[in-house]
Structure 1
Amino acid sequence: MHRWTDPAETPPGLRPCVATFGNFDGVHLGHRAVLARLVAEATERGLPSVAVTFDPHPAAIFHPDTLELISPGRLRDDLLATTGIDGLLVLDFTEEFAQQTAEEFIVHTFVETLGAQVIVVGEDARGFGRGYTGDVSTLAALGAEHGFDVVVLDDLGNGERWSSSAVRRHLAAGEIAEASAVLGRPHRMTGTVVHGAHRGRELGYPTANLSPDSLGLVPADGVYAGWLTRVSKADDDPERTLPAAISVGTNPTFDGTVRTVEAYVLDRTDLDLYDEEVTVEFVHRIRPTLRFDSIEELLEAMAGDIDTCRQVLASIVPS
């Protein structure tokens, strides 16, 4: 997948094309259905497939304190790269950019820049352009005027509509299975391993603490079974993806106040992961965060958590 940010630098080989656009936060199954149709339409017409997205997310400009992103920035782009699209145009979203009318946005980006012959969207495509006035009917009218087709997919879901808001709601409640069902994969975070209080090592369970600026929405406090992936390792390296117990919370037994995400690689005390970039994937919530009255009670609970993680992960292949 070719990624670029300046419309003026659009590769000639990626225009004309079949295109789509959206925020794609989480790249959930609804997004993937649209992107799969995008790729299919492009293949049928012998054209490249291009997705257009924005950085930062529009909510970061207009509602910076109201929305936590599931998969911001590079994490989102890496997920989009797995969908088979040929190109990803990431537009700089500013207050000035947002002043474009729906027609100006579509004509400048898709007609003039990309030479789009088809635009593929979900039926919930709405709220684009100044005043959030653009919708599917706007696209259809502009397509008739400017000579591109519009393909609209029905809302999709399996009992629950596939949406980013549904994923956020499930993660906030610690409902990892439900979030995974909408995402079509385990939820993940990516960040650099930093030094913590070293209590895990002192207790015999050394943990990899993710830096506070890690990418990805932090789920509800609790203990999770999951995977830790060492980004720098080759895909076929047996040391790349390892089973882990992941803790999210403030360590209330030690009167902690800072919320952290830390992962203990099962049965490994020999790893030095400091300064490495890692990805953690949340597969199953074991329990909520609890405050224990003694270190002995904490150690007993941790041993049980790790046994449960082993059982959960034993029959699961990492994504």
Structure 2
Amino acid sequence: MWITSSLDTVKTPTAVALGNFDGIHRGHRQVIQPILPSQLDLPQADSKRMGFQETDTPCRHARADNEPLPEQATPAVPYATVVTFHPHPQQFFSGQQRTLLTPLDEKVRYLQALGVEQLVLLPFDGALAAMSPEQFVDRVLLKQLQARQISVGQDFCFGRNRAGTTAVLQAIAATYGISVQIAPLFTQEGQRVSSSAIRQALEKGDVRQANRLLGRAYTLVGEVVQGQQMGRTLGFPTANLHLPPEKFLPRQGVYSVWVSGVDSSPDTAPLPGVMNIGNRPTVNGMAQTIEVHLLGWTGDLYGKVLTVSLDTFLRPEQKFESLDALKAQIQADCVQARSLLNASHFA
């Protein structure tokens, strides 16, 4: 998948899905689906791409404002392109770091799996924030991205002071002969599927609800780094994960999990495990750690990148009176996790 944060290196023309897409949840996938090559209603024409050369230099079609797109420039296969903003607009306006359900590496992986061909990370700065809806459509979507089709969610807003609604987008695009598809709000069991709802579920430790809204398991992806090896002294060696600093973490506590990445083979089944997120108060820990114990597996994991898929929240973190009491509880956690994971595996 082609990834760029410069509009000068975009592969054009495009079919654009526009939004923030943090989480790539079920609602997001409903917005992205219409721009995928398998879904586009394209005329019978030469299957070669138009407007992009082998040198990775986009071919521009100069035109005046509001001039209709020339019919001969219409491609058979525009690039299936997700356009999002970096940093997140809320981070730009607040000046505070925003945690993400899907940091860039995870977002890329999920978009590739969907069949997206290009990810454009629009730098969200003062100039972009000051654009009117009309300027954004004309300058960014049409002139630079050469969009032939646009897909957005029902609640999408854009432009200065969020003045651009989906109705405004449709009206502006229509003057150029560009269609805009608006995906309705996606609901699951009567609840709207949104990044905020997923965050709220994870903050409560309601992993099952978060996974239902996502349409897959919530994952933590990180490299195994050297820790204090406290788990090893208790008889439960753990992999200490280093995650991207912007990764959104669920409630502190103990989880049953599935772990991938132990073996480099893509066909290897994930392994069952127990994960703890917290400060390890029993041993006077000062910093938060993410530690994973693999059930029934031993070996060297240092340097490996593991994907930990959350299954069930077992209990909150707590301080025990002794290391023996902690060890007994970890053993009980392992037994409970194995039972839950076995049940979900054969469900």
List runs of 5+ in structure 2 lacking aligned partners.
43-75
Pair member with larger Rg: 2
Q: Does the Cα contact within 8 Å between 2:86 and 2:122 map onto a contact in 1? A: yes
- 2:175 maps to which residue? 145
Pairing of 1:157-172 with structure 2 (within 5 A): 157-158=187-188, 159-172=190-203
> Match for 1:292: what amino acid?
F
| 2:312 maps to 1:281 | no
- 1:4 maps to which residue? 4
How far the C-alpha of 1:274 sits from its partner, in A, is: 1.7
Q: Does the Cα contact within 8 Å between 1:225 and 1:245 map onto a contact in 2? A: yes
Name which of 26, 40, 44 aligns with 1:43. Answer: 40
Pairing of 1:174-213 with structure 2 (within 5 A): 174-211=205-242, 213=244
TM-score (norm 1): 0.90
1:58-95 CA-partner distances (Å, limit 9, x unpaired): 22222243742111222222222221222221222223
> d(CA) in 2 for partners of 1:73 and 1:254?
34
> d(CA) in 2 for partners of 1:108 and 1:28?
29
- 1:257 maps to which residue? 286
Q: Does the Cα contact within 8 Å between 1:193 and 1:211 map onto a contact in 2? A: yes
Change (3 A) 1:10 1:104: same
- 2:116 maps to which residue? 85
> Match for 1:284: what amino acid?
T
Change (3 A) 1:58 1:221: same
Name which of 16, 19, 22 aligns with 1:19. Answer: 16
> Match for 1:256: what amino acid?
G
How far the C-alpha of 1:246 sits from its partner, in A, is: 0.6
1:159-204 CA-partner distances (Å, limit 9, x unpaired): 2101001011111111111111111111112122122221101111
| 2:125 maps to 1:94 | yes
How far the C-alpha of 1:109 sits from its partner, in A, is: 2.1
Q: Does the Cα contact within 8 Å between 1:222 and 1:248 map onto a contact in 2? A: yes
| 2:99 maps to 1:68 | yes
> d(CA) in 1 for partners of 2:243 and 2:117?
33
Aligned residues: 311
**What is the root-mean-square deviation of aligned Cα atoms in Å?**
2.1
Q: Does the Cα contact within 8 Å between 1:232 and 1:277 map onto a contact in 2? A: no
| 2:251 maps to 1:220 | yes
Identity of aligned residues (%): 32
Q: Does the Cα contact within 8 Å between 2:217 and 2:310 map onto a contact in 1? A: yes
Change (3 A) 1:226 1:64: farther
How far the C-alpha of 1:312 sits from its partner, in A, is: 1.6
Name which of 85, 100, 105 aligns with 2:136. Answer: 105
| 2:330 maps to 1:302 | yes
> d(CA) in 1 for partners of 2:246 and 2:99?
11
How far the C-alpha of 1:220 sits from its partner, in A, is: 0.3
> d(CA) in 2 for partners of 1:210 and 1:232?
16
> d(CA) in 2 for partners of 1:61 and 1:234?
40
> d(CA) in 2 for partners of 1:77 and 1:134?
27
TM-score (norm 2): 0.83
How far the C-alpha of 1:216 sits from its partner, in A, is: 2.7
> d(CA) in 2 for partners of 1:41 and 1:277?
32
1:212-269 CA-partner distances (Å, limit 9, x unpaired): 545631100111011222288131245xx3221010111111222311111111122x
How far the C-alpha of 1:42 sits from its partner, in A, is: 4.5
Q: Does the Cα contact within 8 Å between 1:55 and 1:73 map onto a contact in 2? A: no
> Match for 1:276: what amino acid?
K
> d(CA) in 2 for partners of 1:313 and 1:77?
28
Change (3 A) 1:190 1:214: farther
> d(CA) in 2 for partners of 1:131 and 1:43?
32
- 2:30 maps to which residue? 33
1:139-159 CA-partner distances (Å, limit 9, x unpaired): 012112222111112111112
Change (3 A) 1:67 1:2: closer
